[in-house]
Amino acid sequence: METETLTRRRKPSAAFDALEIEREELLRRYFRMLETTDRIIEPLTIEDCVVQTSTECSPIKWQLGHTAWFFETFILTPHAQGYRVFHPKFGYFFNSYYNTIGARTPRDMRGLMTRPTLAEVRNYRSQVERSVERLISECTSDVLLQVAPLVVMGINHEQQHQELMITDVKTVLAMNPLRPVYREREIISASISPLNWISFDEGLIEIGAHGNDFYFDNEGPRHRQYIESFQLSDRLITNGEYKDFIADGGYSNPKLWLSDGWAHCLSDAWQAPKYWELNEGEWWGMTLQGFRKVEDSEPVTHIGQFEADAYATWSGARLPTEFEWEFAARNIPLEGNFLDDENYHPIPNVAQTSVCDPAGKSQTEVCATLPTQMFGDTWEWTRSAYLPYPGYKVAEGALGEYNGKFMSNQMVLRGGSCATPKDHIRSTYRNFFPPESRWQFSGIRLARDV
C-alpha cells in the first residue's frame, strides 16, 4: 500500500486528560487496523485483487475501496469540515447494501468493473487514511465525542473485511490449477485425545453484550434465557473424524440431512468439505499454504451448517444453541489461533492447557471442566436461527441497515476463526450466514441433551 505520506507512529500527547488519552488510543487502534490490511494484501498481485469467484465473494480491490468508502461516507463527509469526496461516482462502485445511501453496483458484478484501477483505489484509500488521521488528531473535543464511536465502528467494519479478504483470496487461489501459495507456513501435526463431554446445569442465564466496550447492535440487548442441562464437546471435530462420516456414506444418506440440506447436497454435488478432493485415493485440500494432504488432526473446516447438522445427527449428537455456546464460553479467555498468528488455517488442538487456571486444583481437574478451541480456528455453527433478541431495535439512519435487515434465513456462528483479528472477537459476537454457505472457515462443535 502507498503509506509513505501517512504517519502511523505518533508520540503520545503531552495532555493527560481522559479525552486526549482516548484520542491517542483511537489513533493507535486505527493505525494498527491499517497495518493489518496492508499485511494481508502484501503477497497479492494485481490480478489476485480483481477477480470475483462467486456472488458471496468480492474482489480484494472492491473491499479496499468499500472500507475506505465506509470511513468517507459515515465519518469524513458529515464530520470533517471542508472534506471533498475523492470521486463522485465511487459511492456507486463501493456501496455494499445501504439502500438509504443510493444506487450501487450489483453484488455479482463487482468483479466486472475494470475501473477504477487498483492503483486508483489505493490512492483513494490514501486520501481517506490521511483525512481520518487529521480529523481524529485535530478535531475539537465536542467533535471527538461524536466521531470516536463511528471510528470504532469503522475499525470493526474493516476487521470484518480483513477476514473476508483472507477467505475470498483463498477462493481465487483455489480456482487456479497452479495451486498458488499465499504464504508459506509450517504444517502442524499432533496426536488428538478422544472427544470428551463437559456438563452444564440448567438455569436462567443472561445472554448478550452490555457495558461501554464496543459491540454490534445485534449482540444486545442483554436478556435472560432459560437453558436445559446439556453437554458440550471439549474440542472441535477433526478432519480425521469427518473422514469417518464420509466413509460411512454421510453424503449419500438422506436420513441424516435436513430437507433443504439434502437438496443442496444433491444439486451442488457435495461429497466432502469445500476445497477437498480425492488424489490417488487420499483426501487432499487447498489451503493458503498450497495444495496438500488433509491433516487428520486439524479441525474440519469449510463446511456449511447443513453438513455440520448432518454430522451431528450421524454421531448421535446435535449442534449447540447459540445460548448454550455463549454460556459455556463466558469464563474462557480470548485465546486461540487467530489472524494475528498468521497460520491462515485451523491448527490441531495442541494447547489444551492454555486456557486453564488451576487456582488450587490440579491442571487435569481444571482443564476437564473447560472446553478448548472456543475462540479462533473455525467459526462454530449453532442450531440457532439469526433472530433479534427481545427488545432489539434497529438503529436510526443508514447504519441501521448494518445487521437488522439480515435477520431471516441465516444461522448463527460463534467464536471466530483463524482469519478473525483477535481483538475483534468476544463471547457475545454473533456471526451469521445461510446454512448452505461453505466458503468461510466454519466447523463443528457438538452438543447433546442430558
Q: Model confidence over 345-378: pLDDT tens digits?
A: 999 997 543 344 444 444 334 345 789 999 999 9
- Decide if 342 contacts 166 (C-beta within 8 A): no
Burial of residue 119 (CB within 10 Å: 0-12, 13-18, 19+) is exposed
For cell 494475528, the residue is 340
Q: Are strands 336-337 and 375-376 parallel, antiparallel or unpaired?
A: parallel
Can you read off the three cell numbers belonging to residue 162?
A: 480483513
Give the max Cα distance, the chain: 68
AA letter at 417: S
Which residue positions in the chain have pLDDT lower than 70? 1-16, 351-368
Q: Where are the beta strands (DSSP E) in 241-331?
A: 276-279, 282-287, 290-293
Q: Does domain 18-174 have CATH number 1.20.120.450?
A: yes
What CA–CA distances, in Å, run from 348 to 190, 192, 193? 6, 7, 11
Q: Which CATH architecture has domain 197-449?
A: Alpha-Beta Complex (3.90)
Nearest by Cα to 132 from 75, 210, 182, 215: 75
Residue 103 has, within 13 A of its CA and on its CB side, a CA count of: 2
Quote the DSSP letter at residue 86.
Answer: S
Nearest by Cα to 242 from 292, 347, 345, 315: 315
Length of the chain equals 450
Q: Is 191 left (phi over 0), alpha (psi -120 to 50) or beta?
A: beta
**Distance (Å, rounded) from C-alpha 301 to C-alpha 303?**
6
Q: Model confidence over 160-177: pLDDT tens digits?
A: 999 999 999 999 999 999
Nearest by Cα to 373 from 341, 343, 347, 342: 347
**Distance (Å, rounded) from C-alpha 415 to C-alpha 378?**
7
Query: Do the two domains 18-174 and 197-449 of this chain adopt the same fold?
Result: no
Task: Please state the domain extents for the chain.
Answer: 18-174, 197-449
Q: What is the pLDDT of residue 402?
A: 86
Angle 273-303-242 (CA atoms, 0-180°, nearest 5)?
60
**Distance (Å, rounded) from C-alpha 166 to C-alpha 417?**
11
